[in-house]
Structure 1
Amino acid sequence: MSVAAKTKARTPHHGASYEADFYTWTQEQAARLRAGALDGLDAENLAEEIESLGRSEFNSLVGAYRVVLLHMLKMDHQPERRTRSWAISIAAQRAEAADVLADNPGLKRRLDEIVVRAYRGARLEAARETSLPLARFPEACPYTRDEMLTRPFDIDPASPIP
C-alpha cells in the first residue's frame, strides 16, 4: 500500500473515536455502511475488527477441540478416574465444535492447524490436572480427527454418546 493510500485509510472520520468510545464507534460505522456513506468510514480500524472476528471464530473452535482432547487424554491416562462429567463435556464440546464449523465452513481448510493448537493446550492441561509427567502424553496428537469427534464415551451405562 502506498503512503498516500495508508494516509487516506487512516484519515480521521467524523464521529466517535475508536479509542475513546468503541461502542459508539461501532454503531456509527455500522450505520455508515448501511447508508453507503463509505467516505466517513474508519477503514483501518474496521478491517482490524473484521479480522479479529475471524480470529475469534478460529479460537472458539480451538477451544472446543482442546476440551475434547483434554478429557480424552484424561480418560486414556487415568481410566480409574473416569467420570460422567468428562463424557458429558466431550459430547457438549463436540456439539459446540460442530456448530462453529456449520456457521464458519471456511475453517475446514484449517482443521489440521486447529487440532495441533488444541492438542498443545490439552496436553499441558492434562499434565496439570492429572499430576502425571508431561512426557507421559505424546507430543503429537495421538487421535485422528475422526476418532476425536466420534469415539464413543458412555454418559450413562445404557446410553453411549458418540
Structure 2
Amino acid sequence: MSNAALKPPPVADPYETDFYLWTQAQAELLRTRRFEELDLENLIDEVASVGGSERREIGNRLVVLLGHLLKWKYQPGARKNGWTATIFEQRTQIALILRASPSLKPHPASVFAASYLSGRLLASKETGIDFTLFPEVPPFTVVQALDLDYLPKEPDLLDQS
C-alpha cells in the first residue's frame, strides 16, 4: 500500500460546499473571539462584497423606478395602480438603504445616467414603445425620481421631452 492510500480524503471546504454553514461558523468564531481560527481570506472578500451588493441594489432599484416613471409619463392612458406601488416600493427601498448606509447617498446620482438608459430599455420592453421614442436626456432629475411625492406629468403634444 502506498502512503497516498493511507491518507484520509481531504475535508471539503465549507465555504465552497455550504456557504450558510460557513457564515454561521465564522460568526460563532467571532462571537467567541477565536480570531486565529477565522477564514480571513474568504471573510475579507465577503465583507467587502456586502457593500458592493448594496450599491448594486440601489442601481437595480433605480432602473425599475426610472422605467416605471417613463411608463407613467408616456403612457398616461395605461396607468395602473401597480405602477404607483412599484414606484413607491423602489423609492422606499432605496431610501432604507441610504438611511442604513449614509456614505452611499451620492451613489444614485453617480449611476443615474446608466440606470436611465436601462430604465428606457425596460420601459420600451414593457410598453412596446420604440426605445428611441423615449428621450435620451432624462425628463426628470435624480432628486425628482427619488422624491416620494413626485410623479411626472405627461408630455405636451409639442414638447416630447
Superposed pair shares fold, TM > 0.5? yes
- C-alpha RMSD of the superposition: 2.3
**Is 1:116 matched with 2:113?**
yes
SS at match of 1:152: coil
Q: Unaligned 5+ residue runs, structure 2?
A: 1-10, 153-161
Q: Unaligned 5+ residue runs, structure 1?
A: 1-13, 155-162
Distance in 2 between residues matched to 1:15 and 1:24, nearest whole Å? 12
Distance in 2 between residues matched to 1:59 and 1:37, nearest whole Å? 32
> What is the identity, as a one-letter code, of the residue corresponding to 1:135?
T
SS at match of 1:143: coil
Number of aligned pairs?
A: 141
Distance in 2 between residues matched to 1:52 and 1:117, nearest whole Å? 21
Distance in 2 between residues matched to 1:80 and 1:109, nearest whole Å? 35
Identical positions, percent: 36
Distance in 1 between residues matched to 2:53 and 2:19, nearest whole Å? 18
**Higher RCO (CA-CA < 8 Å; seq separation 6+):** 2
Distance in 2 between residues matched to 1:109 and 1:16, nearest whole Å? 39
Distance 1:143 1:99, change over 3 A: same
- Deviations for 1:28-56, whole angstroms, at most 9, x for unmatched residues? 11111222222211111111111221122
1:25 corresponds to: 22
Residue 84 of structure 1 deviates from its aligned partner by 2.2
Larger Rg: 2
**Is 1:37 matched with 2:34?**
yes
TM-score (norm 1): 0.75
Distance 1:50 1:141, change over 3 A: farther
Comparing both structures, which one devotes a greater share of its residues to strand? 1
- Deviations for 1:59-79, whole angstroms, at most 9, x for unmatched residues? 222222222211110112222
TM-score (norm 2): 0.76
Describe how 1:7-156 pairs up with structure 2 within 5 A. 17-150=14-147, 152-153=150-151
